[in-house]
Amino acid sequence: MATSPEISDRILEAVMARKLEPGSRLGEQQLAMLFDCSRTIVREALTRLAARGIVTVSARRGWYVVEPTADEAREAFEARKVIETGLIRSSKSIDKPAVQKLRAHIARQKAAVKGTDVGARSFLLGDFHVCLAECLGNSLLADTLRDFTARTTLIAMRYQSPEDAARSCAEHVGIVAALEAGDLKKAEQLMAAHLSTWQKKLHVPGEDPLHKLRTALAPVTTGARAQELHTRKRSTYLGEVL
């Protein structure tokens, strides 16, 4: 029988691995059957995730993975940039065991990038930032980063074009190399550039309240109808207004 923390961790991992998309429904009964536990335990896990901004609940519709807005996309990346560059800036040094842990993590990333498991690759690329916070000695911020990383993963799934995983991994390598060399300023600059790069890759559409109606009422221009509209005198019609 799974505990509520175990269930919430599994759901969070699935989000970071891009196995749960924004808006995915999380039924209490189905989760209770899957984890062989009561709905009360499931509800505790989902409530925990709701407080962390990963899921949301509707009185009539149930529990769902959050669907980040365009503003939340920008805010999440800005928050990560402040936390991660601040962590590096406030560090005095990083010991050898921590460097070894980071290098081992990068080795797993490289293997995942070469493999076909997209979920493992996505999880490891995001988890690197959590691992780095732990190696810099701040477990509290590591937990915070885990939540922010999950939310930016959801944002990327909604707005981002397919990312270059190899490039992301290479940027991680550069950050660790700078830390190992004791060049914290360079490591901070590389981290800021890394996060900015992926933030800029987001294709966040502008809000258009008439988008659905505009699409539905666009003129039909196929076959003979297209030729008719092309040859006859143009007049003002609803599609032009929309």
| Domain co-membership, 155 together with 104 | yes
| Domain co-membership, 165 together with 83 | yes
Where in the sequence is the domain holding 236, given as residue range(s)?
A: 211-241
Q: What is the pLDDT of residues 222-238, one digit of tens each?
A: 555 555 555 555 444 43
Which of these three, 42, 65, 88, is where a domain ends? 65
| Domain co-membership, 157 together with 196 | yes
Whether residue 20 lies inside any domain: the answer is yes
Mean pLDDT of 3-25: 94
| Domain co-membership, 191 together with 104 | yes
Query: Could you tell me which of 145, 158, 125 has the C-alpha nearest to residue 24?
Result: 158
Rg (CA), the chain: 23
Q: What is the pLDDT of residues 96-117, one digit of tens each?
A: 999 999 999 999 999 999 988 8
Whether residue 15 lies inside any domain: the answer is yes
For the chain, the DSSP string reads ---HHHHHHHHHHHHHTT-S-TT-EE-HHHHHHHHTS-HHHHHHHHHHHHHTTSEEEETTTEEEE----HHHHHHHHHHHHHHHHHHHHH-----HHHHHHHHHHHHHHHHHHHSS-HHHHHHHHHHHHHHHHHHTT-HHHHHHHHHHHHHHHHHHHHHBPPP-HHHHHHHHHHHHHHHHTT-HHHHHHHHHHHHHHHHHTB--PPP-TTHHHHHHTSPP--HHHHHHHHHSPP---HHHH-
Whether residue 32 lies inside any domain: the answer is yes
**Cα–Cα distance, 17 to 54 (Å, whole number):** 14
pTM of model > 0.85: no
Q: What is the pLDDT of residue 198?
A: 85
| Domain co-membership, 222 together with 137 | no
154 and 66 Cβ atoms separated by less than 8 Å? yes
Whether residue 188 lies inside any domain: the answer is yes
| Domain co-membership, 59 together with 81 | no
Backbone CA torsion sign across 189, 194, 197, 202: negative
Which of these three, 48, 65, 82, is where a domain ends? 65
Structural domains of the chain, count: 3
CATH number at residue 56: 1.10.10.10
Q: What is the pLDDT of residue 211?
A: 64
CATH number at residue 105: 1.20.120.530
Which of these three, 44, 65, 86, is where a domain ends? 65
| Domain co-membership, 168 together with 112 | yes
Q: State the Cα angle at 129 between 21 and 14, rounded to 5°.
A: 25
| Domain co-membership, 76 together with 94 | yes
Q: What is the mean pLDDT of the chain?
A: 86
Q: What is the pLDDT of residues 136-166, one digit of tens each?
A: 999 999 999 999 999 888 888 766 655 678 8
Q: Is the pLDDT of residue 121 over 80?
A: yes
| Domain co-membership, 215 together with 157 | no
Q: What is the pLDDT of residues 183-207, one digit of tens each?
A: 999 999 999 999 998 888 776 555 5
Q: 230: which 2 tokens?
A: 């092309």
